[in-house]
């Protein structure tokens, strides 16, 4: 009855009389449901005998379904309140549900329960469990079982083997109070009986087994639950770690890819070298930990999935966008961007190296050209030809021709400078504006030099022609001035020459010659004017073209002043000569008259003298 009530109270009921309270089958079915943990068919609530028999049969059928053979036990005996049959049925139930399922080291039921007791009490002195009757008479075995599992409930060392009643009552009270095991035995009955009832002790001891094994199972279950919870917590941590690691890695990838895809060129090799160094730092310092994180992430993911599969849990599904495939896709994108970035860096550095080389080449050629052009504009703008002689002009022209050859030779350098500047622009050189400005200045200056060179050549050639014209005039002047000067000198000499005449004929001959000379003076004066006109023409040409003549005719020293001076002298000498000749003529005429007179007298005296001489 106590054993039955220990289970029925779990359902909120109990029995008073074991042979009466099971007659309707209702509490019997309820007992079976409690101890088996299963649902029996729905009982019939009627009070008639048939209803009771049907309920008891349902209970007996359930017992039979658990592999128990009920010999000579029928529903009618239970309904009729047959105590022997009822107790037999209860013992069968106890054996099946309380003892049969006991299993210890490959032994079961009674032997298993006995072995369990032996194992649990083995460490205790004065306890030797060999059976379920006399081995329990002193009560130490019951106390040992309790102490082994709940040492705080029993002060085992204070128990005495010679006080069995105290020992038994202590065990029964502690079991009822702390272990919820109802008191099923009486201490005096056990002590006073030579061989205690084996079934009663076995039933009571099975309650200890179930209490402690239940606790152990509960503990095992708790441990299992804790383990499951721990595994679940670990899995949760792995999930959280995966989510966080995946999020951090994807964020890093998301942050890094734009940096690797940035193709903004830098201006100098130094800046690009710094970019390359940053990239190498990324490859050497920043990326390896991320590779480790990615590998660890995949390991964690696979480990988590394995754990979940082994624990029959659903597979882990990461948040959207954080799948392993998403990470692999992002990583692949990163690798592609990284490869493209490295190629771009190397190409950009090579481009900048070429640009630097071209820029240096441009600067060198530009500097050489600018040094060569230094002072050339001033040289080409000078008007030294305005005061130059014809020979000077010819020398200047030859010098200019040499400069033109030099200028033509530098044309190639200017074209190279322009070509390099164009290439620098095409290669997107950062300092292209200053290069273009310098190139433009050189080209503009080159155009100015070309224009000035052409203008100077024209001026030199024009001046040469003008000086050649003046030179021809000077030459013509010299050719005509020299004989005219000689004529004037001869004329002056003749006009100043002393003459001695004796006859009128002689003086008349001189006068005739002088008159002849005077008749040539108009022509001579025209010649003088023509010669002076040549000089004036030369001066006019020089004045017209702003040519500063040196002042002297290179071909003659006979200047217009000399010609005019001598001409004036001739003009002065002509009347003087006229006067002298006329005076001489008059004188000769007087002399002729005297001679004639003397001749007449001589014609008279002559014959007389001759006569006298004869």
Per-residue pLDDT tens over the stretch 585-596: 888 888 888 878
- Indicate the average pLDDT of the chain: 86
pLDDT greater than 90 at residue 134? yes
Task: Give the model's pLDDT for residue 526.
Answer: 94
Residues 6+ apart with CB under 8 A from 129: 114, 117, 118, 121, 135, 136, 141
Task: Give the model's pLDDT for residue 230.
Answer: 75
Answer left, alpha or beta for residue 25, where phi above 0 means left and psi between -120 and 50 means alpha. Answer: left
List the single range of 17-21, 173-177, 213-217, 475-479 with lowest mean pLDDT: 213-217
Give the Cα separation of 67 and 478 in Å (integer). Answer: 167
Task: Give the model's pLDDT for residue 585.
Answer: 86
Residues 6+ apart with CB under 8 A from 467: 388, 389, 390, 393, 547
Give the residue-averaged pLDDT of 578-583. Answer: 89
Q: What percent of the chain has pLDDT over 90?
A: 32
pLDDT winner (highest mean) among 150-164, 457-471, 592-606 = 150-164
How many C-beta atoms surround the C-beta of residue 36 within 10 A? 15
Domains of the chain (ranges, CATH numbers)? 1-225 (1.10.418.10), 230-357 (1.20.58.60), 474-611 (1.20.58.60)
Name which of 580, 564, 583, 565 is nearest 496 in CA terms.
580
Render pLDDT for 510-567 as a digit per residue (tens, 0 to 9): 889 989 989 999 999 999 999 999 989 988 888 888 777 766 888 888 999 999 999 9
Answer left, alpha or beta for residue 109, where phi above 0 means left and psi between -120 and 50 means alpha. Answer: left
Q: What percent of the chain has pLDDT over 70?
A: 94
Tokens 């070298």 appear where? 273
Give the Cα separation of 189 and 135 in Å (integer). Answer: 15
Strand partners, 108: 103
Give the residue-averaged pLDDT of 310-321. Answer: 82
Q: Which is it for strands 103-104 and 107-108: parallel, antiparallel or unpaired?
A: antiparallel
pLDDT greater than 70 at residue 614? no
Give the residue-averaged pLDDT of 137-160. Answer: 93
Task: Give the model's pLDDT for residue 192.
Answer: 92
pLDDT greater than 90 at residue 174? yes
- Does residue 401 contact residue 464 with C-beta atoms inside 8 Å? no
- Does residue 34 contact residue 45 with C-beta atoms inside 8 Å? no
- Does residue 251 contact residue 313 with C-beta atoms inside 8 Å? no
Task: Give the model's pLDDT for residue 528.
Answer: 93
How many C-beta atoms surround the C-beta of residue 191 within 10 A? 15
Task: Give the model's pLDDT for residue 502.
Answer: 81
- Does residue 452 contact residue 377 with C-beta atoms inside 8 Å? yes
- Does residue 342 contact residue 282 with C-beta atoms inside 8 Å? no
Task: Give the model's pLDDT for residue 607.
Answer: 58
Give the residue-averaged pLDDT of 422-434. Answer: 86
């Amino acid at each position: 009855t106590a054993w039955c009530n220990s289970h029925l109270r779990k359902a909120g009921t109990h029995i008073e009389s074991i042979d009466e309270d099971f007659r309707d089958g209702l509490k019997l079915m309820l007992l079976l449901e409690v101890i088996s943990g299963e649902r029996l068919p729905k009982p019939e609530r009627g009070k008639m005998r048939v209803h009771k028999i049907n309920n008891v049969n349902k209970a007996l059928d359930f017992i039979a379904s658990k592999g128990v053979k009920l010999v000579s036990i029928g529903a009618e005996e239970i309904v009729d309140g047959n105590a022997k049959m009822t107790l037999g049925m209860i013992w069968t139930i106890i054996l099946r549900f309380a003892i049969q399922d006991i299993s210890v080291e490959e032994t079961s039921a009674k032997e298993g329960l006995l072995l369990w007791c032996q194992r649990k009490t083995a460490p205790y002195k004065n306890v030797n469990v060999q059976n379920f009757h006399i081995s329990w008479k002193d009560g130490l075995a019951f106390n040992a079982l309790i102490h082994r599992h709940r040492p705080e409930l029993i002060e085992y060392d204070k128990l005495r083997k010679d006080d069995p009643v105290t020992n038994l009552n202590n065990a029964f009270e502690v079991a009822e109070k702390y272990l919820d095991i109802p008191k099923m035995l009486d201490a005096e009955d056990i002590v006073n009986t030579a061989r205690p009832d084996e079934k009663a002790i076995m039933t009571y001891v099975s309650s200890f087994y179930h209490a402690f094994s239940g606790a152990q199972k509960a503990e095992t279950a708790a441990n299992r639950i804790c383990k499951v919870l721990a595994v679940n917590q670990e899995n949760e941590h792995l999930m959280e770690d995966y989510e966080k690691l995946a999020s951090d890695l994807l964020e890093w990838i998301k942050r890094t890819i734009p940096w690797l895809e940035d193709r903004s060129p830098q201006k100098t090799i130094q800046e690009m070298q710094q970019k390359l160094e940053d990239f190498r730092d990324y490859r050497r310092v920043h990326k390896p930990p991320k590779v480790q994180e990615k590998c660890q992430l995949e390991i964690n993911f696979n480990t988590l999935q394995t754990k979940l599969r082994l624990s029959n849990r659903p597979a882990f599904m990461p948040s959207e966008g954080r799948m392993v495939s998403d990470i692999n896709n992002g990583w692949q994108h990163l690798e592609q961007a990284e490869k493209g970035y490295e190629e771009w860096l190397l190409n950009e550095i090579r481009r900048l190296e070429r640009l630097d080389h071209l820029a240096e080449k441009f600067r060198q050629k530009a500097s050489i050209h600018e040094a060569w052009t230094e002072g050339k504009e001033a040289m080409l703008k000078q008007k030294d030809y305005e005061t130059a002689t014809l020979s000077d002009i010819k020398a200047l022209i030859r010098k200019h021709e040499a400069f033109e050859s030099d200028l033509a030779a530098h044309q190639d350098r200017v074209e190279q400078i322009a070509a390099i500047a164009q290439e620098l622009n095409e290669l997107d050189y950062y300092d292209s504006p200053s290069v273009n400005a310098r190139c433009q200045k050189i080209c503009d200056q080159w155009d100015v030099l070309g224009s000035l060179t052409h203008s100077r050549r024209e001026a030199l050639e024009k001046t040469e022609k003008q000086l050649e014209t003046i030179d021809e005039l000077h030459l013509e002047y010299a050719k005509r001035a020299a004989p005219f000067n000689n004529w004037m000198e001869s004329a002056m000499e003749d006009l100043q020459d002393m003459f001695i005449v004796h006859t009128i004929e002689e003086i008349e001959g001189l006068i005739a010659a002088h008159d002849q000379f005077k008749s040539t003076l108009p022509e001579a004066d025209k010649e003088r004017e023509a010669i002076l006109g040549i000089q004036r023409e030369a001066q006019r040409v020089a004045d017209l073209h702003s040519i500063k003549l040196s002042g002297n005719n290179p071909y003659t020293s006979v200047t217009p002043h000399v010609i005019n001076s001598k001409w004036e002298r001739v003009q002065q000498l002509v009347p003087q000569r006229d006067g002298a000749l006329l005076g001489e003529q008059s004188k000769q005429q007087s002399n002729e008259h005297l001679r004639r007179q003397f001749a007449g007298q001589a014609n008279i005296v002559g014959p007389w003298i001759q006569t006298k001489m004869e």
